[in-house]
């Protein structure tokens, strides 16, 4: 009997099952891009470290500009000129201002800046201010961005360009990240030959091994390619045991249904109880999830396109359990270019090609073809899901397209 779950139930199982996290390691800032932060980062400094002008113009005490009008400007003495990268030579006296470039340090006594456009230089050491400014206008104060003790980045965030920028601003040179999960990848099937071999009659190349390795890499994991294993319970059990020693988790593709040659579930059961055997989705129903020694094992269908979808859907969540990563999904609305039917009682995932622009709206063109045809999927930018209780979707309906990892 298959223990079939819906995709949502599988996500919940993934979230609730205890798995072993990968260790924390320190890496230099320059190598931290794409990694998962292991601990929250608290600021140790003020950013900016001094009050700064955000405009080219004059640093002033705002109260010296109150009541200024185009017809009756406030006239202030230009007491100093601020240089970039240097602090002011002294405090600003009442009735005085300082010429200041964007990013320049405000002198003591100044609490605002007036834009050059709202002033006139009388060429006699004074300027006219045509518009009053409020305290704090056109300046960012010391610590406006970051103050000591503030949590700037949360544990579990993925270090992209903007996060690396925040670390650089705080001068953090060594970053605590989770070790990349090592994913052992096995392919099973007596008909499979390595990619470099010309397949004989009845043989096919091992597509899934290379495909899943590439997916692991784009998800920030380290693939360990373990090759092809015969469709036989004993061989698979031994191979799975070794894979569990080498990897932080295991992906096996092929042999995942309950045919007489489908030995995967028996090998997986020998490692620990199965979380599910079958997911109510199309493609990808014969999927098995289990674990061994606290390490997840995902048994994928052999059809490359089905293996791809199942891995695309569930591998990010499994890896996130190993690293504590907070996952983000990127999706955008598009209008369905043609009617698609679905009444399988399973969530149906369809690859789509996207045309159009943000202005005129995106169109999603479903990719047709049998689930085994991976080359068709290669021509798609993302996918959408037709829920299991839905009989199909009409041309013109809005779907939410999820971008591939």
Looking at 254, 290, 366, 382, which residue binds ligand AMP (CB under 6 A)?
254
Position 323 contacts ligand AMP (CB under 6 A): no
Closest residue to Mg ion in the complex (CB): 189
Stretch that binds ligand AMP, among 8-16, 152-160, 161-169, 300-308 (CB under 6 A): 300-308
Phi-psi region of 125 (alpha: psi -120 to 50; beta: other; left: phi over 0): left
Residues 257-296, one symbol each (x = binds ligand AMP by CB under 6 A, - = not), give x---------------------------------------
The footprint of ligand AMP on residues 198-227 (CB under 6 A) is 204, 206-209
Position 316 contacts ligand AMP (CB under 6 A): no
State which residue, 190 or 381, has the beta carbon closest to ligand AMP. 190
**Smallest distance from Mg ion to CB 376, Å:** 21
State which residue, 77 or 190, has the beta carbon closest to Mg ion. 190
Looking at 303, 346, 365, 388, which residue binds ligand AMP (CB under 6 A)?
303
State which residue, 57 or 189, has the beta carbon closest to ligand AMP. 189
Residues 6+ positions from 256 with CB-CB distance below 8 Å: 262, 264, 265, 286, 287, 288, 299, 300, 301, 302
State which residue, 125 or 202, has the beta carbon closest to ligand AMP. 202
Stretch that binds ligand AMP, among 54-62, 101-109, 298-306, 329-337 (CB under 6 A): 298-306
The footprint of Mg ion on residues 280-309 (CB under 5 A) is 302
State which residue, 108 or 203, has the beta carbon closest to Mg ion. 203
Count of residues in contact with Mg ion, rule CB under 5 A: 4
State which residue, 208 or 271, has the beta carbon closest to ligand AMP. 208
Handedness of CA 286, 350, 352, 338 (dihedral sign): positive
Per the CB < 8 A criterion, the answer to whether 261 and 195 are in contact is: no
Position 301 contacts ligand AMP (CB under 6 A): yes
Looking at 255, 286, 296, 351, which residue binds Mg ion (CB under 5 A)?
255
State which residue, 189 or 296, has the beta carbon closest to Mg ion. 189
State which residue, 203 or 403, has the beta carbon closest to ligand AMP. 203
Closest residue to ligand AMP in the complex (CB): 302
Q: Interface with ligand AMP by CB under 6 A: which residues?
A: 187, 189, 191-192, 204, 206-209, 253-257, 301-304
């Amino acid at each position: 009997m298959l223990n079939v779950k819906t995709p949502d139930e599988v996500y919940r199982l993934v979230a609730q099952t205890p798995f072993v996290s990968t260790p924390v390691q320190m890496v230099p800032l320059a190598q931290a891009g794409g990694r998962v932060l292991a601990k929250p980062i608290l600021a140790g400094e003020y950013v900016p470290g001094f009050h700064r002008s955000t405009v080219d113009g004059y640093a002033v005490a705002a109260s010296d500009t109150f009541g200024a009008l185009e017809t009756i400007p406030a006239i202030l003495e230009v007491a100093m000129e601020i240089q970039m990268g240097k602090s002011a030579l002294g405090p600003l006296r009442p009735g005085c201002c300082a010429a200041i470039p964007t990013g320049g340090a405000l002198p003591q006594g100044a609490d605002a800046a007036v834009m050059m456009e709202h002033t006139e230089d009388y060429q006699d050491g004074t300027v006219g201010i045509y518009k009053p400014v409020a305290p704090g206008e056109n300046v960012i104060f010391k610590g406006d961005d970051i103050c000591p003790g503030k949590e700037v980045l949360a544990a579990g965030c993925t270090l992209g360009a903007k996060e690396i920028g925040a670390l650089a601003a705080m001068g953090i040179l060594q970053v605590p990240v989770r070790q990349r999960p090592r994913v052992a990848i096995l392919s099973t099937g007596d008909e499979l030959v390595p990619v470099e071999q010309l397949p004989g009659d009845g043989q096919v190349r091992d597509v899934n091994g290379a495909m899943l390795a590439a997916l692991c890499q784009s998800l920030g994991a380290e693939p360990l390619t373990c090759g092809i294993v015969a469709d036989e319970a004993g061989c698979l059990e031994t191979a799975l045991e070794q894979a569990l020693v080498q990897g932080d988790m295991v992906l096996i593709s092929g042999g995942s249904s309950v045919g007489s040659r489908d030995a995967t579930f028996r090998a997986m059961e020998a490692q620990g109880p199965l979380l599910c055997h079958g997911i109510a989705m199309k493609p990808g129903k014969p999927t098995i999830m289990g674990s061994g020694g606290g390490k997840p094992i995902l048994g994928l269908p052999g059809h490359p396109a089905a293996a791809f979808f199942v891995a695309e859907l569930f591998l990010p969540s499994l890896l996130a359990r190993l690293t504590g990563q907070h996952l983000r999904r990127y999706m955008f609305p598009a209008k369905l270019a043609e009617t698609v039917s679905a009444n399988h009682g399973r969530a149906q995932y369809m690859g789509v090609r996207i045309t159009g622009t943000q202005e005129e709206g995106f169109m999603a063109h479903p990719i047709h073809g049998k689930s085994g045809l991976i080359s068709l999927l290669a021509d798609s930018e993302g996918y959408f899901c037709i829920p299991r209780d839905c009989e199909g979707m009409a041309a013109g309906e809005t779907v939410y397209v999820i971008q591939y990892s």
